């Protein structure tokens, strides 16, 4: 990742323990009335991995992400992050622990600038109260400099210099997706969860996003969970692919193994004997 003003990158220079992102999901079951969205799902993600979760519509992919990030409370099973159980923690606690995400439907403030939207994410790293802020003490100044340096580094990395002061609502959809990625990264997440980050993008925008994600993973050792419908992208960038169908995990392995798995082919294409 590019450094800001010739200084070492804050992200790439982070100590290994600061980037640790070990996720363990055990026998997770989530029900909505009589509908079982997730059924005994087990999954592990190791630090530095890029793991994709795929499956047909209604397979339970977003339900799994919402369970990991605290929006849904599973009836059974456990979720552990870096050894601590987080199964029923609220979303803001998980953000402080280092779990950040983007959303299937963009969740930005359209009437605010790109920079302002990203700056909002820095509140989780603010350590001063109202009194110090009013006095603008040296510690506050130093902290604000660090916040700004991180945002400038991210804006440079995501090639958003030309839109930094523009209102998000005035931007095309693909650029809004890029801003949302920037805001998630401004949290300095240990685990980054991406819910359909390529949806609605042009081919050129997808190529840019692939480039950003690969560099994040390779240069910053960013751990990621990706839910995406574009199989060509999934199979080209993922270390491991997990397949859900009707809330059940039916396959897991490297992209080549999953592409040729008979249950996966059946889930996407129907009964192979009828093809």
pLDDT at residue number 104: 79
- Is the pLDDT score of 91 beyond 60? yes
Distance of CA 4 to the CA centre of its chain: 23
CA distances from 272 to 37, 235, 244, 263 (A): 25, 21, 18, 9
Reduced to 3 states (helix: H, G, I; strand: E, B; else coil), residue 180 is helix
**127-131, 141-145, 209-213, 270-274, range with greatest mean pLDDT:** 209-213
Lowest pLDDT segment from 24-33, 145-154, 240-249: 145-154
Please state whether beta strands 76-81 and 23-32 pair in parallel, antiparallel, or not at all (unpaired): antiparallel
Integer Cα distance of 33 and 272 in angstroms:
33
Lowest pLDDT segment from 14-23, 146-155, 219-228: 14-23
Integer Cα distance of 146 and 11 in angstroms:
12
Integer Cα distance of 220 and 214 in angstroms:
10
CA distances from 200 to 106, 118, 229 (A): 11, 22, 11
Measured at the CA of 234, the angle between CA 229 and CA 235, to 5 degrees, comes to 130
Long-range contacts of 7-13 (CB under 8 A, 24+ apart): 7/149, 9/153, 9/220, 10/146, 10/149, 10/150, 10/153, 11/153, 11/188, 11/220, 12/219, 12/220
Integer Cα distance of 258 and 21 in angstroms:
24
Long-range contacts of 136-139 (CB under 8 A, 24+ apart): none
Please name every residue paired with 51 in a beta bridge, in sequence order, or none if there are none. 225, 240
pLDDT at residue number 138: 63
pLDDT at residue number 176: 92
Q: pLDDT tens digit string along 50-86?
A: 999 999 988 999 999 999 999 999 999 999 999 999 9
Token pair, residue 160, equals 């958003």
Lowest pLDDT segment from 98-102, 133-137, 198-202, 238-242: 133-137
pLDDT at residue number 136: 55
Mean pLDDT of the chain: 87
Domains of the chain: 16-112+188-274 (3.40.50.300)
- For residue 134, name the pLDDT band (cuts at 50, 70, 90): very low
pTM for this model (two decimals): 0.86
């Amino acid at each position: 990742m590019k450094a800001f003003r010739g200084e070492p990158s804050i992200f790439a220079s982070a100590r290994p323990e600061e980037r640790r992102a070990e996720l363990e999901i055990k026998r997770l079951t989530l029900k909505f009335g009589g509908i079982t969205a997730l059924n005994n799902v087990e999954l592990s993600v190791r630090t530095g991995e890029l793991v994709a979760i795929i499956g047909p519509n209604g397979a339970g992919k977003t339900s799994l992400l919402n369970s990991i990030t605290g929006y849904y409370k599973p009836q059974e099973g456990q979720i552990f992050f870096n050894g601590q159980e987080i199964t029923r923690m609220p979303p803001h606690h998980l953000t402080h622990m280092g779990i950040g995400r983007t959303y299937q439907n963009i969740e930005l403030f359209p009437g605010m600038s790109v920079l302002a939207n990203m700056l909002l994410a820095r509140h989780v790293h603010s350590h001063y109260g109202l009194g110090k802020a009013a006095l603008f003490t040296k510690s506050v100044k130093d902290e604000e400099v660090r916040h700004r340096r991180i945002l400038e580094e991210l804006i440079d990395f995501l090639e958003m210099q030309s839109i930094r002061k523009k209102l998000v609502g005035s931007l095309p959809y693909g650029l809004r997706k890029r801003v949302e990625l920037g805001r998630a990264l401004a949290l300095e997440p240990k685990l980054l969860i991406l819910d359909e980050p390529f949806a609605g993008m042009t081919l050129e925008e997808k190529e840019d996003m692939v480039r950003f994600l690969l560099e994040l993973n390779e240069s910053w050792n960013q751990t990621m969970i990706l839910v995406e419908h574009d199989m060509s992208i999934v199979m080209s960038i993922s270390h491991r692919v997990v397949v859900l169908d009707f809330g059940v995990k039916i396959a897991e392995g490297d992209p080549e193994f999953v592409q040729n798995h008979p249950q996966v082919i059946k889930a996407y294409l129907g009964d192979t004997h009828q093809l």
